[in-house]
Amino acid sequence: MLDDRTRLICTYFDGERPEERPEERPEERPKDSQFNGIKYLIKYLIKYQTTAVGGRCRRKPMRIWAMRIWVDADACPNAIKEIIFRAAKRTKCPLTLVANHPLQIPTYAEMLVVPSGFDGADNKIVELLAAGDLVITADIPLAAKALDKGGYVFNPRGDEYTSRNIGDRLSVRNLLDSFRGGAEPIGGGPPPLNNRDKANFANQLDRFLAKHLR
């Protein structure tokens, strides 16, 4: 059985007016009782989401935090940024880009500019990242740190870094660094993004957001 207050809220969400009992007509209720009812309703809505399922009222705790997308923006291709912008706008997911210089972004996104320097943007993302957030980066060490904090990581090609594959990626990166002696690579590097890469990233991002923003 649902108590009177729960029944009142359920009918409110269903778009129906609750039945008034003869002895509890609005004009006969004390003003302080009406005020307390409003306070209870506000408190209830803050604490719970209420949905009607099969004619019955089901309550579930409301998520009090929102997942955020973090973009390592200095090296993120513009085409991938546009895909992220559209996804964030559609899902209303908070979005923050971190870079060493200002970038043109939509009004619903946030821009953090960090001083130029080694790993400046990476360190800021790791500092502010919360468990459950999503990081978009091709930087392997940043991906490893984000995973350690409980985040999720995709690179701009839509490949997901996980605790199962990040160790191998780090080993390969460190091996290549040792061959170069720490110098920047000359030529080579990953091939440019193609339409298939863009489509793969967009599909992976859409699936991820559909799963984690329920």
Instruction: Please choose, from the candidates 103, 79, 104, 107, the residue with its C-alpha nearest in 3D space to the C-alpha of residue 95.
Output: 107
Burial of 73 from C-beta contacts in 10 A (0-12 / 13-18 / 19+): buried
Cα dihedral 172→77→198→96 (10° resolution): 100
- Residue 188 DSSP one-character state: -
What pLDDT score was predicted for residue 42?
56
Segment-wise mean pLDDT, segments of 10 residues, the chain, 214 residues: 49 46 49 56 50 46 68 94 96 95 94 87 94 94 93 95 84 65 55 91 96 83
Collapse the DSSP code of 65 into the 3-class scheme (helix H, G, I; strand E, B; otherwise coil) and give the result. Answer: coil
Distances (CA, A) of 154 to 40, 97, 121, 159, 200: 42, 15, 17, 6, 11
pTM over 0.95: no
| Alpha-carbon radius of gyration of the chain | 25
